[in-house]
Amino acid sequence: MPNHILDTFFKPQSIAVVGASPKENSIGRTLVENLQKDGFPGNIYPINPKHKEILGIPVFPSIAAVPADIDLAIVAVPIKGVADVMRECGQAKVSGAIIISAGGKEVGEEGEKIEADIHAAAQAYGIRYLGPNCMGILCPRSRLNASFAAHSVRPGSVALLSQSGAICSVILDLAESQNIGFSHFVSIGSMADLDFAEMIDYLGNDDQVRSILIYMENLVHHRKFMSAARSVSRVKPIIVVKSGRSEAAARAATSHTGALAGNDAAYNAAFQRAGIIRVDTIAQLFDCAEAMARTNRPLGGNLAIITNAGGLGVMAVDACSKWKREPAVLSPETVALLDKGLPPYWSRSNPIDILGDAPPERYLTAVRGVMAAPEVSGVLALLSPQAMTDPTAVAQTLIPEIKKQAKPFFAVWMGGQDVTAGIKLLNEAEVPTFGTPEEAVDTFMQMYSYTRNLELLQETPPRLSADLKVNTKPARTFIDECFKRQTLLLTEVEAKAILSTYGLPVNPTVTVSSAAAAAAAAKKLGFPVVVKIHSPEISHKSDVDGVRTFLKTEEEVAAAFEEIVNRSRAAKPGARIFGVTVQTQVEKSTLELILGAKKDPQFGPLLLFGLGGIHTEVLQEAAVDLPPLNLLLARRLMERTRIYKILKGYRNIPSANLELLEEVLVRLSQLVTDFPEIAELDINPLLISNGRPVCVDARILLEPSPVRAPRHLIIAPYPNQYESDWLLEDGTPVLLRPMKPEDESLVSEFLSNCSEDSIYFRYFQHIKKWTHEMLIRFTQNDYDRELGLMAVGQPPGPEVMLGVSRLVMASDRSTAEFAVIVADPWQGKGLGEKLLERIIEIARDNEVTKLYSEVLAANLPMLGLVEKLGFTIKAADQGVREVEMPLAVK
């Protein structure tokens, strides 16, 4: 396969510096100087028509005048001239550019036009570029300093991406003082072209990169970012500082959901779904990266705290409480073990206070004891420089023991000169050290959150008891009709009608326009009933005292009609009053919930679950996630709220039917997935009646959507458009459908039906045992870049997986790799050909231009099939054939 375009930026053979200058302290001179200083091994071509030589290097008047190929151009001219430079680069076949120049969209409308001209010029010649308004790139491995940074960087295993050049300068200075090294250091600038997603994809495939750090101000291609981050975070940590937390607070919201699901909540939800660690400060960014590079990540959240000062232990416990965690509870066996080696007056609990006179041997005894304890996931050792304690000797004693242990160890030697030598020893031994207990605890918990995120990403969700049946057609009709009537804020009845089409449980609701009709409706529904004002201009009915509950007679209903209508007319003189709704009274619920959705302009719909009722915005007890949801994600969303404990049953409050609640959330997720026109949706309250959820009030706000479903989501949903029915040659009915995370058991059974030869031909090796980690690699696909199309037996036969074809697309979808395997009992029945034909169709639908694969030379049936379908075949390594097919895009 061809080299990645980012190789041009990180491994160039020749560089032109457009705007190079001999002037001291100028950016044009610094760029050339930095390339020389870091020993760039390739050719450097300064470009400036006014000079003949800069720093001993011949200068050329233009890109066109350079008598050699140029891989990368660094552009540092006034931004108004950058578009012309890009055209020159294009004519000279330069494939990449770093645009240092500032003054683009950050200065307003004129700058936006300039950036548009730059982008058009670059696109015309196929040039990829970084910036504008960036500091540049440093890559020690390539001896590349293509930046105007004041410092070089040490080699390391951490890659850093930053939107802010100023923050880059701060980080470089901090890294220099703390001896922190980088594999890649990228000032990404305005991201008019190359963005976070492409960088993450590239760095994720670099084995020398152990973690990726990001300073982020905003995203530009949210769906691309999520796809890249979800893929890479499974194999290496991505740690983000996101500035601008208060943005949401500055915006007014028109609904309860809108008030709770702000921009920062959207970023939190996106980071969590992508498996990203979010930290608050640059210092935490480095603390976490350093610890990730130096020690194993914790497999649990139970921290043991060892201290020679009670106050430090208390500080660590307080830091744990911020994460809603307690220190590890020591088992009786661990306490007994520690009793044997610690003095009688040790704390006999966690924090493990080993007293102020603790010598090195006492620290060692405590560390060995808790490292052996199964209830402990990591160890934090705190040391205060007291007269009887030697910080350096303690460090010397602990280092050999720490190196033998698999559990992570964190050290806080607090003080000044007395602890300096001990800290130096710990750092030289690659032991993570911190200045305070809070910093150490935060880092431990951030690392554990990454472990937890990975567990959630790799957990197999339960299957629905039956396929989710929704009735999209009437929902579409209702929404289209509301647009025709220019009714964007739906009444409760209209909202409930739409919810009902998707199987969300609503209480029976009737609209009436007179007191007599209200009484008659109540009698038919059965008492007690609820009466609410019915007006498109009054969405929050309690604000106008427009609700009456537990009405038990026709007389009470008629009187409530008159009172509610009169009060509403007085409170909202301009409102259209259609009358009232009469609804069945749901049994009084101890807990009122809110379910909601809000369309964020960047992230698409956000889903909300939390405490409902009239105090929703005051108490703000809610959690936010992104669609699509499955049952597992729905449960995790509920678990992120404190009310989840009550829903499971608390004291005299019976438990709710959590499985039904999960299904309600999945149905709501499907609704906003199918209809991008839903701008806001509130179900408030959702009551738990006899354990079952019931939506007793609802509100929907519509707005036209320029994007069709499902492209309005930033996580690709299940692509049901690729489902189709087919018959094998022997008449067996099958459903061809994309693989789902819930299919792990089907895949496991399928692989057991494949012979050793079939497995070897597909995977080029013999595999005796399929682990959970291997199986989820097949089932948990990002549909934006990978799809497994499986054939599943249908009635009258059993549900059994018969075969699968797989499509793995490059991040830019230019190329894709395919594979096919059919279980032995169903081979020779036309299924392999059908699966491959469908994969070719799906590749075309995704605008893939070339399909390729490797096939063992001994796999004659597969080679015959690909030849029949028009693939070209050529020899590669011994025993392997490369097959490929160019595809015409539809």
Gyration radius of the chain over CA positions = 32
For residue 823, the tally of other CB atoms under 10 A from its CB is 21
Query: Which among 495, 887, 848 is positioned nearest to 668, based on CA atoms?
Result: 495
Could you tell me if 852 and 819 are in contact, meaning their C-beta atoms sit under 8 angstroms apart? no
Domain-embedded: residue 450:
no
d(CA 513, CA 812): 58
| Distance in angstroms (rounded) separating the CA atoms of residues 68 and 560 | 88
Eight-state DSSP code of residue 345: T
Are the C-beta atoms of residues 366 and 306 closer than 8 Å to each other? yes
d(CA 291, CA 305): 17
Both 15 and 146 in one domain: the answer is yes
Contact 240, 214 (CB under 8 A): yes
Q: Chain centroid to CA 77: how far?
A: 37
CA-CA distance, 82 to 515, in Å (whole number)? Answer: 73
Q: Which residues of 148-184 are buried (b: 16+ CB within 10 A; e: fewer)?
A: bbebbbeebbbbbbbbbbebbbebbeebeeeebebbb
Helix runs in 20-108, H state only: 27-37, 82-91
Q: List, for residues 796-822, the tens digit of each pLDDT value.
A: 999 999 999 999 998 888 899 999 999
According to DSSP, residue 796 is labeled: T
Residue 354 domain-assigned? Answer: yes
d(C-alpha 574, C-alpha 251), whole Å? 26
303-307 and 352-353: which strand pairing? parallel
pLDDT digits (tens, 9 = 90+) for 639-670: 999 899 999 988 878 889 999 999 999 999 99
DSSP label at residue 721: G
Is the backbone of residue 693 left (phi > 0), alpha (psi -120 to 50) or beta?
beta
| CATH number, domain with residue 149 | 3.40.50.720
| CA–CA separation, 280 and 634 (whole Å) | 27
pLDDT score for 464 = 76
Q: Output the CA–CA distances (angstroms, integers) from residue 47 to 36, 42, 74, 137, 877, in the order listed.
A: 16, 16, 10, 19, 44
- Please give the structure tokens belonging to residue 280: 């608050």
> Do 185 and 172 contact (CB within 8 A), yes or no?
yes
Cα separation, 815 vs 847, whole angstroms: 9
Residues pairing with 596 in the sheet: 608, 682
Sign of CA dihedral 63, 68, 71, 72: negative
Backbone phi, then psi, for 778, in 5-degree steps?
-80, -40
The single-letter DSSP state of residue 33 is: H
Sheet holding 43-47, edge to edge: 43-47, 14-18, 72-75, 96-99, 128-130
Residue 550 lies in a domain: no
Distance (Å) of CA 582 to CA 519, 555, 688, 773, 854 = 9, 14, 20, 53, 66
Read off the CATH number of the domain in which 778 is found. 3.40.630.30
Classify strands 622-625 and 678-689 as parallel, antiparallel or unpaired: unpaired
Report helix, strand or coil for 727: strand
Same-domain check for residues 304 and 183: no
3-state secondary structure of 138: strand
Note whether 646 and 653 are within 8 A (CB).
yes
* Pair 39, 165 in one domain: yes
Residue segments in the chain with a per-residue pLDDT below the cut of 50: 1-2, 247-258
In whole angstroms, how far apart are CA 442 and each of 298, 425, 448?
Answer: 13, 23, 10
Per residue in 87-143, pLDDT (tens digit) is 999 999 999 999 999 988 888 888 899 999 999 999 999 999 999 999 999 999 999
**Measuring CA to CA, which residue among 675, 694, 711 is closest to residue 505?**
694
Instruction: Mark which of 408, 431, 454 sits at the end of a domain.
Output: 431
- Between CA 351 and CA 319 the distance in angstroms is 12
8 Å CB contact between 63 and 29:
no
Residue 776 lies in a domain: yes
CA atoms 823, 825, 827, 833: torsion sign: negative
Bridge-based pairing of strands 724-727 and 678-689 is unpaired
Phi, psi (rounded to 5 degrees) for 685:
-95, 160
- Tokens standing for 794? 């249908």
Same domain, residue pair 190 and 310: no
Query: Which residue, 127, 104, 256, is CA-closest to 616?
Result: 256
pLDDT of amino acid 618:
56
Q: Which residues contact 841 (CB under 8 A, 6 or more apart)?
A: none
The answer as to whether 169 is a domain residue is yes
78 vs 84: CA distance, rounded Å: 11
Q: Which of 755, 741, 740, 748 is nearest to 771 (CA)?
A: 748
Q: What is the dihedral of CA 455, 457, 458, 460, to 10 degrees?
A: 110
Has residue 656 been placed in a domain?
no
Say if residues 677 and 703 touch (Cβ distance below 8 Å): yes
Query: Which pLDDT score, from 0 to 100, does residue 874 have?
Result: 92
Last residue of a domain, one of 376, 407, 431: 431
CA distance 202 to 182: 15
Q: Which domain holds residue 109?
A: 7-194
Residue for token pair 């015959």:
864
SS3 673: helix
CB 521 within 8 A of CB 510: yes
Q: What three-state secondary structure class fits 215?
A: strand
Local structure of residue 3 (DSSP, 8 states): P
Here the tokens at position 112 are 């936006």
* CATH number, position 413: 3.40.50.261
Residues 32 and 181 reside in one and the same domain = yes
CB contact at 8 A, 520 and 558: no
Packed helices 222-232 and 263-274: angle between N→C axes, nearest 10 degrees: 30
Residue 390 within any structural domain of the chain = yes
Contacts for 241 with CB less than 8 Å, ≥ 6 apart: 214, 215, 216, 278, 279, 280, 281, 282, 284, 285
Q: How many domains does the chain have?
A: 3
Which residues does residue 821 pair with via DSSP β-bridges, in sequence order? 804
CA distances 277 to 231, 447, 460, Å, are 14, 8, 22
Decide which of 194, 209, 237 is a domain's last residue: 194
Q: Please work out, in degrees rounded to the nearest 5, the angle formed at the alpha carbon of residue 816 by the alpha carbons of 457 and 717.
A: 40
First to last CA, the chain: 24
| Within a domain: 751 | yes
AA letter at 708:
R
